Structure formats: C-alpha cells, structure tokens
Structure 1
Amino acid sequence: MMNEHPDAWPFKDPVDVRDVPDYYDIIKDPMDLKTMSKRLESEQYYVTFEMFVADVKRMFSNARTYNSPETIYYK
C-alpha cells in the first residue's frame, strides 16, 4: 500500500489546521491517503482507475502548491 512507503508520512492524514492554519485558505481541494483509503473501502467512489490517479496527482500537486521547492514536502 502507498501509505506504508517510508516517504508517505506527510500524506497519511488530512492537514491539521492547528499545525498549518492557512493551508485551507490556499488549498481548496485537499487530498490525503486516509481520505483515499476511505474512498477505496467504500467500493463506490473510484469507479475508474483514472479517478484514483487523479486524486494521487492532486495530493502531490497540493504539496507543491503549498510548500516551497526547498522543502521535503515539495520534493
């Protein structure tokens, strides 16, 4: 599973507004591995593989939108 990868830790849970107060002001369509897992478990959300891939791409795009290039979250 993706969330077991050693580099997955920043993406495992939704961003906590207590840690990053302005995150949801900047990122309007957040995505994380926990949300994706719930969608997979429902067996109703990801009706195509492309929908799953779109969420993965959105998760990484959000990280690059919010974080500066020198951070581990961007890289």
Structure 2
Amino acid sequence: MSILLTKLMLWFVILKDEREQLFARMLLASVNEYLVVSTISAHCLIGSATRKKLINILRPIQKTLNVLTTP
C-alpha cells in the first residue's frame, strides 16, 4: 500500500511540475505579445516612465524563464 501511495504522490508532483511549466509557457507567450504592444506604445513615454514600464514587463519574463529552466 505504501508503494502505491508513494507512486501516487510522485505522479502528483510530476503533474504539478508540468502544470507549472505549462502555466509558465502560457505566461511567456502572453508576455511576449504584451511586450510587442508595450514597445510600440513606449515610444510615447519618456525617461523614468519608460524604465518603469520595461521593469514591469521584464520581471514576469525573468520569473517565467526561471521556472522553465530550473530542472
């Protein structure tokens, strides 16, 4: 019985990792689309406003890449 429980727990962990990776890929795709739109609209912004906007865009990309590249 404990072997079955261990296998079930391992399977759940694998599924959880796959869900996180799928979520990360979906997030990265939406962030890429957002980045294109934001880059176009960033031409209207100047100075620190542009930096703040870019920081808000790059932070989710960095987190997503960390999830996708962590073994």
Length-normalised TM-score, structure 1? 0.38
Q: Which has the larger radius of gyration?
A: 2
Query: Which has more helix, going by share of residues?
Result: 2
Length-normalised TM-score, structure 2? 0.40
